Every structure is written in C-alpha cells, then in structure tokens.
Amino acid sequence: MTTGQNRTKRATQSDVAALAGVSTAVVSAVISSKPGKTIRVGKEAEKRVREAMETLGYAPNVVAQSLAGGKRNIIGVFTYEAIFPSDSENFFYPFLLGIERGAMQLGQDLLLFTSSSFEQGPRSIFPNGANRMGVADGAILLGEEPDKSELKQLYDTGFPFVTIGRRDTKDADLNWVAADYTTAVSDVVDRCASNGHRTLKFVGATKVREQNMDREAGFLNKQGNGLTLSVERLAADDIDANWLQKCLDDGNTVVLTETFKHAVALEQQVLARHGNIPETISIVALAAPLNRSKDVERWTRISVPREEMGELAVRNLISQIRTPGHTAITATLPCGFVPGTTLTKI
C-alpha cells in the first residue's frame, strides 16, 4: 500500500487562483463562461487557470455555487416513494430511462433526493420545513403526491420544477408532462365501434385523479353515434359473478378497464363461468404492467410513452430554468394502441 491519499482539503477557487496567478473572479469566469459576462478572461489567463484546475484536481463546490446563485447543471429527481422499489414492478424505471437520456443530451447530472428519509410517513419535499432540493437547478417530480399543498408551497418558493403527470391546482401554474389519455381512450372507443361494438362499459379505479378524469372524459366524449356508454368506478375485488352477469345482461360487449387489476379480475370471473375472453366479452386494458412478460402481450391495450415523457420533462425543465418567469410549459404526448387478442370483432 502506498503512503495514503493526499488528504489536504479539497482545492477551492482560491487555490486555483493562487496557482494560476490570477484572482478568484477570473477562475469563476473560466468555469462558467457565459456570453454576456461582466468579467472577461484572456486566452493566456484562461489557459493557466485550466492547467491549475487540472493539476489541483479542482471541481467547483455545488453547494457554494448554489448559495451564490450560480448554475450547477444538476437537476433533481424527487419521488414520494423509494425511487428504486424492491418489488418487481418498477413504476419509475421507464421514466428514469428517459430522464437519463434527456439529462445526458443536455449535459445535466441527476440528483436523486433520497436523503429525506420517510421513517414516519411518506417523504416530503420540506422535511423539517426546509427544501432539500435547493442544491439542484430544478427538479422533476415523479409519482403520486399525497400532499398537493406541498406543490403549491414549492411553487411559491420559485423553485423550477416539472411534474410527470398532469397536475391541476387552482392557485398555481404548474409545468407538467402528461400522456394524452383522453385521445387515447376516445381512440379505443372508435376502434371498438368499428369492430362492431355498440354497448361499452368503462370500469375505473375508485381513486379519481387527473389522469382518471382524462380517461373518463375520453370515453364519454364518444357518447352518441349510436353507442351506449356507461362508466362505473369500483374496486377490482368488487368485480364478482353478479357484477359480470349484470354487465352482460346490460348488453355490454366490451369493457375498458382502467387498471390491470380490474382487467385480470374481470377475466377471472369470465373464466369462472366457463366463458372466454374475448368470446364472452372483450376487454381493452387502459393500463398495463411494465414488465414485458408474456402475459401482458396478449392484452389489447394502451401503451404510455413513459420514456418520451421523462425525456421531455428534462427538456422542459431546462427551458424553464434558462428562461424563468414566463408561463408554465405543459405537454401532452400521444399514447399507443397495442393490438392483442382480448378485443374481437362482432
């Protein structure tokens, strides 16, 4: 083993400045060489500074940069749940994939806020009142937020952020990137109709958030045109033999399920009465699990452009950071329709 590492404190701007024989202001200017700068640096000095940085292994202290109001090229990623869940179904993953791609392209590093431990209750953006995210230039918020007032609070601080998924708040003008569920579901209804279906049922989750509203709206948009549409919101467990019987009695030939659980529950009931999908009744899954297991492939379903959403969220966040103060950026990305074997012609 060698003598050990050079344990003197990390090099600072002053160290670099001293070695290069210039002032710290010059070093600072070299690091963040922006166009309309109040302080200019000559070729020669810049070279010396860069050499000094290299020999000292200097890297700016982001925390100090933050305090002083500089740019860090770091964007935060905040989730209310653990970002790397241990159970198989990793909801965040496809988004992260897109986020990483976007970050790479724009030269940003990704800061995951894992520090705000959620020993008691869920994570909070403001654990003991402080916004832990301040070190980043802005943040992308992922997943369900239990506390919408936190969004308002964050908004009020002026910290730039983009949520993935639409967020409506009366008193805040939020940036978000969302999937166009409305159009996607309308499209599904059209496809069903052109397959001969006339009586369709939408079965949704009981917890109603923005995206659930959108799906329902996309469904009900298609009211008329000789179609009979009904909406029902219930827990997947409530889909039992009786429910199915009534559903069939009402003449429904296709059910649009908002969650995969509902789809599976429905199929089970059909199988239980020795029926078949799609012969007994067709199903279109408006949401499907992420892992590409064989069992998912057979479902006729909607696909959500998660990677694209993540990538776009980064781009929009950067726009918001670069030119702050203007109106919110919102984006809606089209979903895909994935043909399977659970929707039939009649």
CB 153 within 8 A of CB 159: no
Order of all β-strands in the sheet with 301-303:
228-233, 199-204, 254-257, 282-285, 301-303, 336-338
Q: Provide the minimum distance between the beta carbon of 18 and DNA in the complex, in angstroms, as a whole number.
A: 10
Q: From the list DNA, a copy of itself, none, which binds 42 (C-beta under 5 to 8 Å, kind-based)?
A: DNA
Minimal distance, residue 294 CB to a copy of itself, in Å: 10
Structure token digits, residue 76? 């935060």
Contacts of 191 (CB under 8 A, 6+ apart): 337, 343
Query: Residues interacting with DNA, by CB under 7 A?
Result: 9-10, 12-14, 21-26, 28-29, 31-32, 34, 37-46, 59-61, 64-65, 67-71
What, of DNA, a copy of itself, none, does residue 26 touch, CB below 5 to 8 Å by kind?
DNA
Which lies closer to DNA via its Cβ, residue 71 or residue 233?
71
Reported in sequence order, the residue ranges of 125-180 that DSSP labels E, i.e. its strands, are 138-142, 161-164, 175-179
| Residue whose CB is less far from DNA, 69 or 107 | 69
The helix (H) or strand (E) run that includes residue 171 is: none
Distance, first Cα to last Cα, the chain: 77
Q: Which residues contact 232 (CB under 8 A, 6 or more apart)?
A: 201, 202, 203, 204
Q: Which is nearer to DNA, 4 or 69 (CB)?
A: 69
Give which of 66, 177, 72 is closest to 131, Cα–Cα: 66
> Token digits for 116?
């705000």
- Picked from DNA, a copy of itself, none, the partner binding residue 242 (CB below 5 to 8 A depending on kind) is none
CA distance 345 to 289: 25
92/202 with CB nearer a copy of itself? 92
Using alpha carbons only, how large is the chain's radius of gyration in Å?
A: 26
Closest contact distance (angstroms) between CB of 124 and DNA is 18
CB 131, min distance to a copy of itself, A: 5
The entry of a copy of itself, DNA, none near residue 274 (CB within 5 to 8 angstroms by kind) is none
Q: What is the closest distance, in whole angstroms, from the C-beta atom of residue 84 to a copy of itself in the complex?
A: 4
Q: How far is the CB of 46 from DNA (least distance, A)?
A: 7
Q: How far is the CB of 53 from DNA (least distance, A)?
A: 10
**In the complex with a copy of itself, which residue's Cβ is closer, 30 or 265?**
30
Task: In angstroms, give the least distance from the CB of 71 to a copy of itself.
Answer: 8
Query: Which CB, 101 or 261, lies closer to a copy of itself?
Result: 101
Contact partner at residue 22 from a copy of itself, DNA, none, CB < 5 to 8 Å by partner kind = DNA
Q: Which is nearer to DNA, 16 or 185 (CB)?
A: 16
Of these partners, a copy of itself, DNA, none, which one is at the site of residue 217 (CB under 5 to 8 Å by kind)? none
Instruction: Choose the one of a copy of itself, DNA, none that binds residue 245, judging by a C-beta under 5 to 8 angstroms depending on kind.
Output: none
69 or 121: CB nearest DNA: 69
Cis peptide before 278 (omega within 30 of 0): yes
Q: How far apart are CA 36 and CA 44, in angstroms?
A: 20
Picked from a copy of itself, DNA, none, the partner binding residue 2 (CB below 5 to 8 A depending on kind) is a copy of itself
Query: Which of the choices DNA, a copy of itself, none does residue 171 contact, using the CB cut-off of 5 to 8 A by kind?
Result: a copy of itself
SS3 content of the chain, % helix, strand, coil (to 5): 40, 15, 45
Tell which residue, 279, 312, 321, has the closest CA to residue 103.
Answer: 312
Please state, in angstroms and rounded to a whole number, the distance separating the CA atoms of residues 219 and 251: 18
CB nearer to DNA: pick between 44 and 249: 44
